[in-house]
Amino acid sequence: MTPDEEQAAALEAGRLLFARPCEFFFAAQQIDKLPPSSLPEVAFCGRSNVGKSSLVNALTGQKTLARVSNTPGRTKQLNFFDLGGRLVLVDMPGYGYAQASKAVKADWQGLMFDYLRGRPNLRRVILLMDARIETKASDLAAMDLLGEAAVPFQLVLTKADDAKAYWLNKRQEEMAAFVKKRTAAHPTVITTSSENGLGIPELRAEIAALAAPPDTAPAT
């Protein structure tokens, strides 16, 4: 199979996986209240208001699967979504919200680290970075946290449609530099837009490679 054929097959696998039903099934605010770890999991992590919910909705093609809030820091729990019985998507609490109390910040960080470190079926964390603004100290801290927990993560730029071309190029170069310095980082950085669909098929393909093998039931 040629590289082009391999890419086409990966994109098709991603399309088929995300054509399956995706449903919310569990929410947890405490590490001892997590659902059974029976399927591979892919978690989405990022600063508050980075566009996690919008990206999950774009990936699944469901406009209201993950709630989109104009209030940063609103998500304070781990939300679990079953994707076609082959994969679980996890929406993690946002970090770095300036107006959150120190106690809440500590709780979020503690919950995230305990989940990252103790979830054996967690295959990868998708770490979202806003394409429009500079990297924050909280982003670097999140990378450190992922490295300390020994969890593979992949950098994904969001909201690329709202970034100037020169700035987007700068951000892409910066992400590539981060990847080279972090042993837990996946080598491929994906640039996305939930508005125009940029990078969505490619990210679906990356995630599909981590899912459990398909069963005999046809995809929707």
- Of the candidate ranges 1-10, 124-133, 136-145, 186-195, the one whose mean pLDDT is the lowest: 136-145
Burial of 13: CB neighbours in 10 Å, binned 0-12, 13-18, 19+: middle
Residue 219 pLDDT level (bands cut at 50, 70, 90): very low
- Of the candidate ranges 44-58, 68-82, 111-125, 150-164, the one whose mean pLDDT is the lowest: 68-82
Q: Where are the alpha helices (DSSP H) in the chain?
A: 3-18, 52-60, 102-118, 137-148, 165-181, 200-208
pLDDT at 103: 52
Burial of 165: CB neighbours in 10 Å, binned 0-12, 13-18, 19+: exposed
Tokens 């099934």 correspond to: 25
Residue 108 pLDDT level (bands cut at 50, 70, 90): low
pLDDT per position as a tens digit, 181-195: 999 999 999 999 999
pLDDT per position as a tens digit, 22-62: 999 999 888 888 898 889 999 999 988 899 989 999 999 98
Q: Could you tell me which of 94, 91, 93 has the C-alpha nearest to residue 83?
A: 91
Q: Looking at per-residue confidence, does 137 or 164 come out higher?
A: 164
pLDDT at 217: 44
pLDDT score of 97 more than 80: no
pLDDT score of 67 more than 80: no
Give the chain's domains with CATH numbers. 3-208 (3.40.50.300)
Q: Which residues pair with 82 in a beta bridge?
A: 23, 88
